[in-house]
Structure 1
Amino acid sequence: MDTLSDLLRRAGATDARVRQLIQRPPWSMTYADPPALTVFATFGGPAMLRLEDVPAVPPTRLAAGDIALVAHSARHTISDDLATPPQVLIRGGRKQLLGGSRAQAVMEGRLAPRTWGDGLPGATRVLRGMFQLRGEAGRRLLAMLPPLAVIPAGPRTGAALDLLAGEAARDEPGQDAVLNRSLDLVLVLALRSWCASIGPADPSWYAALTDPSIGTALDQLHTDPARPWTVAELAEVAGMSRAAFAARFARLVGQPPMAYLTDWRMTLAADLLREEAATTVAAAARAVGYQDAFAFSVAFKRAKGVSPSRWGREEDPVAAEAAVR
């Protein structure tokens, strides 16, 4: 499995929800304590996105077909105009209507499954997809992303958005599976487009994934993380000399090959210990390539700050937060 697909799968990024608003201006929605990763897209009409808790990111206008990825934000607002006061506050999965009775009536109108608004000519359609990430793999994915990434409209993302918007208004057998996979497709296409638009230097992780040699080595590490890899073996997989491979890997990934492998193993072990109640420290050690449970425990404590046994007893704060939403 390729590296990005593996990370998305382990982060639980397909555990998704989709909602849409079809509304004439003025309209405004504020989201407090939203999920870790949110996708916004617009279909015609004005839309302004503001991250209220990230002042370094200026308000951003979304054109028709644009996609915005929002991470690291605990409160943000999307509206037709910055001057429009919020009409709806979404907190803990609950909708609180704000403003006068007219605004409340409009924002409460249900047009179809997962779809609200007035649906009248001149309306803006706003699509929102929410990913509830989990565990250390989820944190690792979030660490790769800025608070806001905007992907301009394009033919590939446009086709995926049209499919997602159409399915969001349906309620047929297998609907959750269709929506999860459609939103997953939008996310992957958006990540590809965004990373390609800002060039190979930033973010370095995407340059590493798309590098023919280093990308191949990363894929092998994710496919078989428990294998007793050496730098020489990874260099052979990449088709490079040992020294050239080690230098290129460190430059693109940001850390040496063996340090990356250790970090990834500790990520996998951390999620195993919390998500699988029956997983012992010895079993977690073997699953990520350690035959010696003591050596694993030392490496784990160095990476996570606590012993693996204590880690397994503690509740994941991200999962606990998600459970109440």
Structure 2
Amino acid sequence: MDPLTHLLDGPRARRAFALRVVMSQNWSIGVRDKAPLTVIAMMSGQAWLVAGNGQVQLRSGDVAIVRGPEPYIVADDPMRAPDVFIEPGQRCTSLSGEDVGPDMSRGIRTWGNGVSGETTMLIGTYETDAQIGAAVTNALPQVAVVPAGQISASLLGFLEAEVTTDAPGQGSTIDRLLDVLLVHSIRAWAVLNPETAHGWLAGANDPMVFQALKYFHESPEKPWSLESLARLLNISRATLACRFRTCVGEPPMTYLTNWRMLLVSELLADSQLTTAQIAAKVGYGGPFALSTAFKRRFGASPTAYRNCNYATSGAAPVSTSP
């Protein structure tokens, strides 16, 4: 199971904040919520997204994926200073720090500086992120833009309808729709930017590396070695190691270890699984070997990690690889 598939099928430890934003001219929003990931879908009008040392114009139909926690600005003019700020917890404040959220509420999950406006955006913010989710998004730049026409207008319309309507089970429905939008956006961006993608996402650029990644993702429990993988791919160990490292950015066995540890971090969310069972699922001989490798990666034993991260919130901290 590759990271994108796992994002949809695997255990989730995130709560998405969804909002429809309607803005009239002369506006600028400073986002400093420190959220790990935000998806911005332009439904109408245009906006500028300013992040780091760069800026990009978003037009109707575009979808932008923004990686946190660095701050960024969304505005109708890239030179306009923010007059509203989004703080951690999605608290909206003025320049002076006053809470202006209630003043800008425009209905069910709708927010803006007026009842109507030429610019409409759907915002989906993941305020917490599972390890596998981090593995997915860390293959992207800070801002990844998918131009109009690459994402189904029906999907965006369906999401907008769900965001602005109260109905039973709506929270989970919005989460799943945002997941689907994110996956479609990542896939579209990777196809359009093969030279920019890195990590596991870049593996699709090399058929041999792609197949190696597929083996790792689908069967992490197997006793893989560089020799056994090279034999299966009918290629020399040296060639495999070179091409894999060039494409993905790290050696095959290092990637496999990282992938196994990310899987363990999420399997620990299931309190019914013992460390021995988890070890078997990811290719470790027993709980002691698993604990040693896991502690080296996360600085805590599997049991301590489970108690700290899943006993209350159910969320795992963000990681940086693979």
Give the TM-score of the pair, scaled to structure 2: 0.79
- The corresponding residue for 1:36 is 36
Kept in 2: contact 1:157–1:186 (CA 8 A) = no
Looking at structure 1, the residues matched to 102 and 130 of structure 2 have their Cα atoms a distance apart, in angstroms, of 39
Looking at structure 2, the residues matched to 176 and 286 of structure 1 have their Cα atoms a distance apart, in angstroms, of 35
Looking at structure 1, the residues matched to 214 and 317 of structure 2 have their Cα atoms a distance apart, in angstroms, of 32
Q: Structure 1 residues 289, 205: closer, same or farther in 2, change over 3 A?
A: closer
Looking at structure 2, the residues matched to 232 and 36 of structure 1 have their Cα atoms a distance apart, in angstroms, of 37
Looking at structure 2, the residues matched to 4 and 143 of structure 1 have their Cα atoms a distance apart, in angstroms, of 12
Kept in 2: contact 1:3–1:209 (CA 8 A) = no
Kept in 2: contact 1:24–1:124 (CA 8 A) = yes
Query: Residue 253 of structure 2 aligns to which amino acid in structure 1?
Result: M
RMSD in angstroms over aligned alpha carbons?
3.5
Structure 2: state its 5+ residue gaps. none
Looking at structure 1, the residues matched to 101 and 306 of structure 2 have their Cα atoms a distance apart, in angstroms, of 46
Q: CA deviation at 1:184?
A: 1.9
Q: Does 1:293 align with 2:287?
A: yes
- The corresponding residue for 2:89 is 92
Percent sequence identity over matched residues?
35
Decide which of 216, 222, 229 is 1:227's aligned counterpart: 222
Structure with greater helix percent: 1
Query: Residue 42 of structure 2 aligns to which amino acid in structure 1?
Result: T
Structure 1: state its 5+ residue gaps. none
Q: How does 1:103-118 map to 2 (within 5 A)?
A: 107-110=104-107, 113-117=108-112, 118=114
Give the TM-score of the pair, scaled to structure 1: 0.79
Decide which of 230, 242, 251 is 2:246's aligned counterpart: 251
Q: Structure 1 residues 185, 267: closer, same or farther in 2, change over 3 A?
A: closer
Q: CA deviation at 1:259?
A: 2.1
Q: CA deviation at 1:71?
A: 0.8
Q: Structure 1 residues 169, 301: closer, same or farther in 2, change over 3 A?
A: closer
Q: CA deviation at 1:22?
A: 1.9
Query: Residue 95 of structure 1 aligns to which amino acid in structure 2?
Result: C
Kept in 1: contact 2:32–2:87 (CA 8 A) = yes
- The corresponding residue for 1:19 is 19
Per-residue CA deviation, residues 195-238 of structure 1 (Å, 9 max, x unaligned), is 22322464243220454333233223222211222334434554
Decide which of 126, 140, 145 is 1:145's aligned counterpart: 140
Kept in 2: contact 1:71–1:146 (CA 8 A) = yes
Looking at structure 2, the residues matched to 69 and 243 of structure 1 have their Cα atoms a distance apart, in angstroms, of 36
- The corresponding residue for 1:76 is 72
Q: Structure 1 residues 209, 133: closer, same or farther in 2, change over 3 A?
A: farther
Q: How does 1:193-272 map to 2 (within 5 A)?
A: 193-200=188-195, 202-209=197-204, 211-235=206-230, 237-238=232-233, 240=235, 242-272=237-267
Decide which of 295, 303, 306 is 2:297's aligned counterpart: 303
Runs of 4+ in 1 over 6 A off after TM superposition: 103-106
Looking at structure 1, the residues matched to 102 and 254 of structure 2 have their Cα atoms a distance apart, in angstroms, of 56
Looking at structure 2, the residues matched to 155 and 263 of structure 1 have their Cα atoms a distance apart, in angstroms, of 32
SS of residue paired to 1:78: strand
Looking at structure 2, the residues matched to 234 and 36 of structure 1 have their Cα atoms a distance apart, in angstroms, of 34
Kept in 1: contact 2:30–2:71 (CA 8 A) = yes
**Count of residue pairs brought into register by the alignment:** 312
Q: CA deviation at 1:320?
A: 8.2
Looking at structure 1, the residues matched to 220 and 50 of structure 2 have their Cα atoms a distance apart, in angstroms, of 40
Q: CA deviation at 1:303?
A: 2.7
Query: Residue 245 of structure 2 aligns to which amino acid in structure 1?
Result: A
Looking at structure 1, the residues matched to 316 and 267 of structure 2 have their Cα atoms a distance apart, in angstroms, of 16
Looking at structure 1, the residues matched to 164 and 91 of structure 2 have their Cα atoms a distance apart, in angstroms, of 20
Looking at structure 1, the residues matched to 263 and 101 of structure 2 have their Cα atoms a distance apart, in angstroms, of 46
Per-residue CA deviation, residues 121-165 of structure 1 (Å, 9 max, x unaligned), is x52102101124434334333432322222222243544323322
Kept in 2: contact 1:13–1:132 (CA 8 A) = no
Looking at structure 1, the residues matched to 17 and 282 of structure 2 have their Cα atoms a distance apart, in angstroms, of 32
